[in-house]
Chain A
Amino acid sequence: MLEQNRNNHKLTIDARGVTIKFGTFTAVNQVSLTVSQGEVFGLLGPNGSGKTTLIRGLCGLLPLAEGAATVLGQDVATSAESVRTHIGYMSQKFSLYEDLTAQENMDFYSGIYGLTPREAKERQDDLVDMSGLGPYLERRAGRLSGGWKQRLALVCALLHQPKLIFLDEPTAGIDPVARRDLWNLLFRLSAEGISLVVTTHYMDEAERCARVGYIYMANLLAIGTPHDLKQMPGVTPPGTRWLEIFSHDSAALLEELRQRPGVRQATIFGQSVHALVDEDQNAATLGLDEKHVLETEPSLEDVFVTISRAQGMAAK
């Protein structure tokens, strides 16, 4: 035990070959990943790919069919309850009691996590300071705006000073300003040495993570820093390169590019089109103005789309 603890003391999460099944359906297949102390880890993947299931498994809520996971130095299979006292969790919908005031919500979670009244008071004061919730404490949670609800939910998840927080799509349905504020908060927590596991569909949020994992149909297809993922050989196969092509009518351009034999893949990316082309292709061969064509590295979205396709073809 001691040996294991020493080896893992910097790894907040150490999952090895984690498999979770619902009956005969495999929701998470052989996932291995590590999260270090203070790291912001992004978990990406389409809806239903197994992100939330993986998180539940790591919290000890679902039994592991195969593999093992150590969270905060404890085996989740045997010490689930102990693990849960040290982690925070913020679910997809900010699960607050809407008929209770912000203060009452905080009091409830303080009690649930076994804080003494004094600890609760101190901790709440700190977090209210940090989040700026002060003026809204007596307001019912149901009457707070989305951004404030989300902050309150985060505060409730932080009351017991967790060393690891799972945030399941924390920014879904939140305005851009509130999103940026939340990320600033998350980086502050990370600087304090708290590890964060965040699931998201936003690529700009994924770019902010120290490392990201991409789950597709129960399998972890890629894991690494955003930079590493863009360098994956599968994303830019030998003899190809990525071009970014600007156009006033990117939809029409996309259609046109997809007809061309030298273009392997093309997707719209804001005002431009990202295209994976054979190496011998350039502005001239594609019949485009050279001013509008740039060689580029793949975006994270390109990475995920490419490896999902490859996986889909391999499955066939």
Chain B
Amino acid sequence: MTNRFSAQRTYSVARKEFLHIIRDPATLFFSLFIPVFELFMLGYAIDTNVRYIRTVVFDAANTKDSEDLLRAFENSQDFRIVRQVYSETDLSQAIVAGKARVGIIIPENFSRNLEAGRTATIKVVVDGSESSIATAAIGDSNAITLRESLKRIFGERQVPMDVSPQILFNPDTRSANFFIPGLMVVMCQMMAIMLSANAIVREKENGTLEQLFMTPVRAGELILGKLIPYLVLTFVEFCTILLLMRIVFQVEIAGHVQTLLALTLPFVFTMLGLGLWISTQVGTREAAGQMAMGTMMPSIFLSGYVFPLDSMPAFFWYVAQIFPTTWLIDAARGVILRGAGIAELWVHSVVLWSMGIAMFTLAMLKFHKRLT
């Protein structure tokens, strides 16, 4: 009879683990507070859309044409003219000093060329040290001058072609909508790995694991009992971020929350399994923390949380597919922003469950081996 799985023993372990959590308010506070802090930081401070680039102008022409062009630049809201200079040297200096990212030079012969029907070239100097700003500045200045050129050619007449852009799912292209679903996933990952790695290693450090091995508790009961409270805690955190995202940052959830939660379950499972595996490899909490960090870093950078997967070289794109984080971030954006359901995301579900089962089995086998 003692060989049977015992719910009572599992419950005893879970209850004890829960007491550990509430007895250690510092850990609890930091694991819940840091995600919320990061949420506000990402939600309010970070905007990946490049606007109001600081611009320095050297208008050698100083005519009505050049003034009109500069006004067009300013009206676009892409550029903000912060300073006027009167030589190219001063303009370069302003950029070197970081006072402006872009310099616009309008040559003296600008209006004369226009009137003569020759191409009037303006020079746009771009600080390349911040690549996203440089790219945006070149694109925007091209578009603005092209528009101004067309106006001159067609005047009041209609232009032959036009684009009517329609941005699906995130019409204001707000960064929060892009970042928060990823943040939820990354925070869950961090919490699940850290907590589960610590849960076993702590008992190793204190010598209580040795004591437990002498009791009838089975490895499965011990692990399940330990992980249940952390599973619950991780879900609480996930839902907290989800709620804040909806209420504070007004990101609408286009799909069903339950789809998202159902996909998150195998993910958390995988991460708890990973933490467990880490705990079989190391003997101290410090080492566990370092190892957890080591596994988290690449998955944060390659998962598409910050840097878009589509612009990665093929090799890294394939590497990224190994991380469960990549799959859940994609699925979370799918559900929250695009309203995807299980019909669109079943591949994600299969992949996440497979990863979860594989990781957990591996960890259990390792743990069992240490037992005997």
Q: Which residues of A contact B (CB under 8 A)?
A: 59, 61-63, 81-82, 84-85, 87, 89, 91-93, 95-100, 104, 107-114, 166
Contact = CB atoms under 8 A, between A and B. Distances in A.
B19 A111 contact: no
B207 A95 contact: yes
A81 B207 contact: no
Interface stretch (B6-14, B28-36, B66-74, B316-324): B6-14
A85 B211 CA distance: 13
A104 B16 contact: yes
A58 to B, nearest CB: 11
Contacts of A96: 208
Nearest to B218: A81
Contact of B210 (A62, A91, A100, A113): A91
Contact of A98 (B16, B206, B216): B206
Contact of B214 (A59, A97, A104, A114): A59
B224 to A, nearest CB: 14
Contacts of B13: 112
Interface of B: 2-3, 6, 8-9, 11-13, 15-16, 19-20, 23-24, 206-208, 210-218, 371-372
A84 B216 contact: yes
A87 B214 CA distance: 8
Given A81-B3, A107-B12, A111-B11, 13 more contacts: A61-B214, A82-B3, A91-B211, A92-B207, A99-B23, A99-B24, A104-B16, A108-B12, A109-B215, A110-B12, A112-B9, A112-B212, A166-B214
A13 to B, nearest CB: 15
Contacts of B23: 99-100
Contacts of B210: 91, 95
B372 A63 contact: yes
Given A108-B12, A112-B13, A82 B211 contact: no
B214 A81 contact: no
B358 to A, nearest CB: 28
Contacts of A87: 214
A113 B215 contact: yes
A82 B9 contact: no
B15 A111 contact: yes
A217 B9 CA distance: 38
B-side interface mostly: helix
A91 B12 CA distance: 21
Contact of A114 (B20, B212, B216): B216
A104 B19 contact: yes
Contact of B20 (A89, A97, A166): A97
Contact of A89 (B8, B9, B214, B372): B214
Contacts of A113: 215-216
A61 B214 CA distance: 8
A64 to B, nearest CB: 12
Nearest to B24: A99
Contact of A100 (B2, B8, B19, B218): B19
A111 B208 contact: no
Contacts of A92: 207
A63 B206 CA distance: 25
A82 B2 contact: yes
A93 B214 contact: no
Nearest to B10: A111
6 contacts: A61-B214, A81-B218, A92-B207, A104-B16, A108-B12, A111-B9
A81 B213 CA distance: 10
A61 B213 contact: yes
Given A84-B215, A89-B211, A114 B15 contact: no
B207 A91 contact: yes
A177 to B, nearest CB: 25
A78 to B, nearest CB: 11
A98 B20 CA distance: 10
A48 to B, nearest CB: 17
Q: Which 9 A-B pairs have the closest CB atoms?
A: A111-B12, A95-B211, A89-B214, A99-B23, A95-B208, A93-B207, A95-B207, A85-B216, A108-B16
